[in-house]
Amino acid sequence: MNDDENTKPLSRVEEKWSNSADVYSKDGFKVFWESLELPSAYQIQEAFGDTPWIENILSRIPDADGRSDLRALALGCSHGDGVAANEFVRSGRFEEITVVDLSSKLLASQQELTDDLGLGEILRYRRMDLENDPWEFEQPFDLIFAIGTLHHIERLERLFSEINTHLSPSGLFCMREYVGPDRFQYGEKQVEIVSEIMRALPERLRTDVKGQVCQAAWQPTIDEVVEDDPSEAIRSSELLDLANRFLSVDEIRLTGGSLLDPLLHGIAGHFENNPGGREILPLLIVFEKILVRKGVLPSDYAFLFAHKL
């Protein structure tokens, strides 16, 4: 394989996530389930209960109380005002937060925003390919966190080893990730249940941005997933087991998503913009909770909290 062939998949990944807003919304219409306010709040509640999420995370760092000199590393860059890195800065507990990502365009856009918000003194942005680039950091981190990034990584053994190496002795690692089947190859039972619910919805709620009426659960082929993003869910099903191998895992909070993700994929906006959809969505969340807690469906998403091994 020549150099051009080697870099082509990586370039496709970077190009897609340089325009991450387009991944979750098409012409202003939300297509991803967690872009909706209610499912996002449901995920936070499942992970942290009634404790504010930032307090919950900081309480897991043994010597963090009273400090204002904590150092953090964000694996993956999110865009917007209320993203986790920004909220950690606002907590007043961090001296420096380094945000790494493959996409220079996304990093530059977020840096411009956070500079305008007055957060730039603490935030540092750095382009880094987590698959291949060396981890060259001068000091260990009190907190390393990842939100929706690690299920795009193939060399997970290397990644978790580096995370363990770069945590301070009492440092915390936390991740919120898709941990379901690789390449979204859902099981037969899951597809059957989601498809039955899909067909029970009014057509106006299951019509996608192309005007097509969805008849079944979102069930892409492996080729379709790879064509869209070669890194997508490449070893997602191994994330929890490998984290347990390379880190001292304190807790895993399974948060579902196994109904809502394949059901609302491509049609999520109807459940926020449409009065009928807004009424149905809380019922779908309750139904998902029941299916996961009773073991009928697996949990496809999880929060994990760990310390240095």
Task: Identify residue 223 by its one-letter amino acid code.
Answer: D
Q: How confident is the model at residue 174 (pLDDT cuts 50, 70, 90)?
A: very high
| Distance in Å from the first CA to the final CA of the chain | 38
CA distance 98 to 31: 30
Lowest mean pLDDT among 22-31, 127-136, 208-217, 255-264: 22-31
pLDDT at 12: 77
**Interval 25-78: pLDDT, tens:** 888 899 999 999 999 999 999 999 999 999 999 999 998 999 999 999 999 999
213, 206 in Cβ contact below 8 A? yes
Q: How confident is the model at residue 143 (pLDDT cuts 50, 70, 90)?
A: very high
Structure-block tokens of residue 98: 């380094």
Structure-block tokens of residue 119: 């957060």
pLDDT at 6: 46
Structure-block tokens of residue 104: 């220079």
| Cα-trace Rg, the chain | 20
Average pLDDT (194-200) is 98
pLDDT at 9: 53
What is the chain's mean pLDDT, rounded? Answer: 94
DSSP one-letter code for 207: B
CA distance 154 to 150: 9
Percent pLDDT > 70 in the chain is 95
Average pLDDT (17-21) is 70
CA distance 239 to 160: 9
Average pLDDT (74-94) is 96
pLDDT at 10: 54
191 Cβ contact list (under 8 Å, min separation 6)? 216, 217, 219, 262
For the chain, what is the largest distance between any 2 Cα atoms, rounded to a whole number of angstroms?
A: 56
- Checking if the pLDDT of 1 tops 60, the result is no
- Checking if the pLDDT of 115 tops 50, the result is yes
Residue 167 has a CB neighbour count (10 Å cut-off) of 23
170, 62 in Cβ contact below 8 A? yes
Name the nearest CA neighbour of 146 among 134, 133, 128.
128
Question: What is the domain extent for residue 139?
Answer: 3-307
Q: How confident is the model at residue 17 (pLDDT cuts 50, 70, 90)?
A: confident
Using a cut of 0.85, tell me whether the model's pTM lies above it: yes
Average pLDDT (212-224) is 97
Percent pLDDT > 90 in the chain is 89
Number of domains in the chain: 1
pLDDT at 16: 77
Q: How confident is the model at residue 21 (pLDDT cuts 50, 70, 90)?
A: low
Can you say whether residue 49 is alpha, beta or left, with left for phi > 0 and alpha for psi between -120 and 50 degrees?
Answer: left
CA distance 198 to 215: 7
Looking at residue 168, which CATH number applies to its domain? 3.40.50.150
290, 150 in Cβ contact below 8 A? no
